[in-house]
Amino acid sequence: MKTIQIGKIVNTRGLKGEVKIIPNTHFIEERYGKGAVLYVGKDLQKATILRSRYEKGMVYAVFDGLEDINLVEQWKGMELFADENAPLVLEEDEVLYSDLMDCDVYTNEKIYVGRVIDVLETRANAVLRIKRNEGTVLIPFVRAIVVSVDIDDKKIIIEEMEGLL
């Protein structure tokens, strides 16, 4: 099974096994909803969401059969994964962050900018971290800047703006 990283458990909350998660997905309801199957840590321990809620940019979740702090405390600091083949309904202009990774970025004048090494989530929009020959640059993932995304060819075209690069 191929997995994608969708978050990280950063702490526990209360005594009934609730964990605090920093999500790394736009699909909060689909990935963290009741009955969603997640995999914890490098050994991909299977866990099913019993209940969850989204509050102030964080997900608070309880896993089925693990409603005790002593059962989940060991997961602090571990990453959460989902099955990459789990069905998600995407809108026409939506892409998965994982699909943006390793895409080559070019200006609309066909000048190579670099390669996407990370996607950061901000309150306003996603931001692409692009590795250049010397250092990195951050590019907002917004329509005004991103002209096109071709996931099959791993290619992103951006509108070059003064001060952007």
**Homologous superfamily, domain 3-83:** RimM (2.40.30.60)
Confidence of residue 30 (pLDDT cuts 50, 70, 90): confident
pLDDT digits (tens, 9 = 90+) for 112-142: 999 999 988 887 888 999 999 889 999 999 9
CATH topology agreement for domains 3-83 and 97-158: no
- Give 13 or 94, the one with higher predicted confidence: 13
3-state SS record for 16-64: CCEEEEEECCCCHHHHHCCCCEEEECCCCEEEEEEEEEEECCEEEEEEC
Where do the domains of the chain lie? 3-83, 97-158
Kindly tell me if the per-residue pLDDT of 147 is higher than 80. yes
DSSP annotation of 74:
G
pLDDT digits (tens, 9 = 90+) for 35-90: 999 999 999 999 999 999 999 889 999 999 999 999 999 999 999 999 988 777 67
CATH architecture of 97-158: Roll (2.30)
